[in-house]
C-alpha cells in the first residue's frame, strides 16, 4: 500500500501542532500516510516545494513566512487565496500544476460560527487588530459572516489602509482603518475584537487595547493559540467576556487540507481539541 505524504513548511516550524493534528485523523481513519514538519528558509522555499512535488508529496501546508510566496508560486488559485493574496495550502495535482488555497479564511469563519452562531455578527461592528496576512484572512471571513462594519487598527495606519484598499472593491461591507489610539472612540459598539497581531506569540509585553472599554455583550477572538489561552484570552475571560482562542481556527483550517492530501473529510471534535491541548501542556 502506497504511503501518502504531506507536511507543513515554515521557518520556524518546530512549534507547529499540525503533524499531531493530522496524525490524529490519520490514525482515526486508518490511513497509510505521513505528515511531517519541514523547516525551510525563505530563500529556499520555491526550490524545496518543487522538490517535494517531484518526490511524490500530495501537497504541503504553508506557514510563516511563506504564505505570499506560496500564492505567487501556484499555477491555480482559489477565491480565498486570490482575495487575501496569500496561500496556506499547496496541492500538487496529477497534471503537474500546483493549486494554491487559503484555508485560514475557512478556519476562522468555521471557528466563529461554531462558537458564536452563524448570525451573531450579521449587521454588527468588528474590530481587527493588526494588518498582516492573518488580518487579511479575517476580513474575508468576517465579510462572509455578514458583519456590517469592519475596522482595521494597526500601529501603522498606512499599512491598515493598504490592506483595506486591496479588499474594499471585493466586498459589500463598510471597511475603515485607524491606529491603536482610536480604540477608545470605537470600543463601545464593538461586537467582536479579533487579534491578528503577533502579541499572543510573546512578541509584545501586553495587548495594546483596553478590554475594559468593550461592552458586556462583546466577544474577543485571538487567532494565536497557547496553553491555557493567550494573555488576551485570559484577560477577556477575567472580565466576563466570552473569548475564543486560535485552536479552533487551527483545527478547522486543517479540514480541507487533510481532505486534499488524504481523500477523506475529517471531523473537528471536542476529543480532537483535548488531544491537542495535551501537546500544548
Per-residue pLDDT tens over the stretch 66-114: 999 999 999 999 999 999 999 999 999 999 999 999 999 999 999 999 9
Which of the four pLDDT bands, split at 50, 70 and 90, describes residue 240?
A: very high
Q: What pLDDT sits at residue 172?
A: 80
Q: What pLDDT sits at residue 131?
A: 92
Q: Do 83 and 170 form a contact (C-beta atoms < 8 A)?
A: yes
The one-character DSSP state at 85 is: T
From the list 254, 247, 243, the residue with the least C-alpha distance to 226 is 247
Which of the four pLDDT bands, split at 50, 70 and 90, describes residue 280?
A: confident
From the list 102, 118, 100, the residue with the least C-alpha distance to 110 is 118
Does residue 177 come out as left (phi exceeding 0), alpha (psi in the -120 to 50 range) or beta? beta
Q: What pLDDT sits at residue 11?
A: 95
In the predicted structure, residue 255 carries a pLDDT above the cut 90 = yes
257 CB-near residues (< 8 Å, 6+ apart): 6, 22, 59, 61, 89, 103
Alpha helix stretches (DSSP H) within 145-230: 157-167, 183-186
Per-residue pLDDT tens over the stretch 22-33: 999 999 999 999
Per-residue pLDDT tens over the stretch 164-175: 998 888 888 999
Q: What pLDDT sits at residue 228?
A: 74
Mean per-residue pLDDT of the chain: 93
Q: Out of 3.10.270.10, 2.40.40.20, 3.40.50.720, 3.40.50.10860, select the CATH number for domain 4-102+253-280.
A: 3.40.50.10860
Q: Do 196 and 132 form a contact (C-beta atoms < 8 A)?
A: yes
Per-residue pLDDT tens over the stretch 169-224: 888 899 999 999 999 999 999 999 999 987 655 554 567 899 999 999 999 999 98
Q: What pLDDT sits at residue 201?
A: 52
Q: What CATH number should be reported for the domain whose range is 105-245?
A: 3.40.50.720
Instruction: State the residue for C-alpha cell 468555521.
Output: 110
Question: Over the range 82-111, which residues count as b (16 or more CB within 10 Å of their CB) and which as e?
Answer: ebbbbbbbbbbeeeeebbbbbbbbbbbbbb
Per-residue pLDDT tens over the stretch 257-274: 999 999 999 999 999 999
Q: Do 5 and 34 form a contact (C-beta atoms < 8 A)?
A: yes
In the predicted structure, residue 6 carries a pLDDT above the cut 90 = yes
**Which residues of the chain are in CATH 3.40.50.720 domains?**
105-245
From the list 113, 189, 184, 108, the residue with the least C-alpha distance to 153 is 184
Q: Do 125 and 101 form a contact (C-beta atoms < 8 A)?
A: no
Annotated catalytic residue, options 2, 37, 67, 212: 67
15 CB-near residues (< 8 Å, 6+ apart): none
From the list 110, 117, 86, the residue with the least C-alpha distance to 100 is 86
Query: Distance (Å, rounded) from C-alpha 56 to C-alpha 235?
Result: 46
In the predicted structure, residue 56 carries a pLDDT above the cut 70 = yes
**Which residues of the chain are in CATH 3.40.50.10860 domains?**
4-102+253-280
What mean pLDDT do residues 3-26 have? 95
Percentage of the residues of the chain whose pLDDT score is greater than 90: 85
Q: 67 an active-site residue?
A: yes
Q: What pLDDT sits at residue 169?
A: 80
Instruction: State the residue for C-alpha cell 468588528.
Output: 126
Query: Greatest CA span in the chain, whole angstroms?
Result: 61
Amino acid at each position: 500500500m502506497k504511503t501518502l505524504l504531506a507536511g507543513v513548511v515554515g521557518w520556524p516550524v518546530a512549534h507547529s501542532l499540525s503533524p499531531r493534528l493530522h496524525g490524529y485523523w490519520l490514525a482515526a481513519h486508518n490511513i497509510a500516510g505521513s505528515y511531517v514538519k519541514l523547516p525551510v528558509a525563505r530563500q529556499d522555499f520555491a526550490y524545496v516545494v518543487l522538490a517535494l512535488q517531484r518526490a511524490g508529496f500530495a501537497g504541503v501546508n504553508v506557514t510563516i513566512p511563506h504564505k505570499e510566496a506560496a500564492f505567487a508560486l501556484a499555477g491555480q488559485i482559489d477565491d480565498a487565496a486570490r482575495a487575501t493574496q496569500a496561500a496556506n495550502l499547496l496541492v500538487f495535482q496529477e497534471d503537474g500544476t500546483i493549486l494554491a488555497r487559503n484555508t485560514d479564511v475557512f478556519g476562522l469563519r468555521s471557528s466563529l460560527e461554531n462558537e458564536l452562531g452563524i448570525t451573531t455578527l450579521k449587521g454588527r461592528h468588528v474590530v481587527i487588530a493588526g494588518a498582516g496576512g492573518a488580518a487579511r484572512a479575517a476580513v474575508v471571513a468576517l465579510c462572509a459572516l455578514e458583519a456590517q462594519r469592519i475596522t482595521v487598527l494597526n500601529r501603522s495606519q498606512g499599512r491598515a489602509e493598504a490592506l483595506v484598499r486591496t479588499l474594499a472593491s471585493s466586498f459589500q461591507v463598510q471597511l475603515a482603518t485607524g491606529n491603536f489610539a482610536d480604540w477608545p472612540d470605537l470600543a463601545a459598539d464593538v461586537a467582536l475584537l479579533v487579534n491578528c497581531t503577533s502579541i499572543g506569540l510573546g512578541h509584545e509585553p501586553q495587548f495594546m487595547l483596553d478590554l475594559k472599554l468593550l461592552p458586556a455583550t462583546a466577544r474577543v477572538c485571538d487567532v494565536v493559540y497557547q496553553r491555557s489561552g493567550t494573555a488576551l484570552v485570559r484577560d477577556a475571560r477575567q472580565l466576563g467576556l466570552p473569548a475564543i482562542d486560535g485552536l479552533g481556527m487551527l483545527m478547522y483550517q486543517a479540514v480541507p487540507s487533510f481532505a486534499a492530501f488524504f481523500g477523506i473529510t475529517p471531523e473537528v471534535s471536542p476529543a480532537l481539541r483535548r488531544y491537542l491541548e495535551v501537546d500544548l501542556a
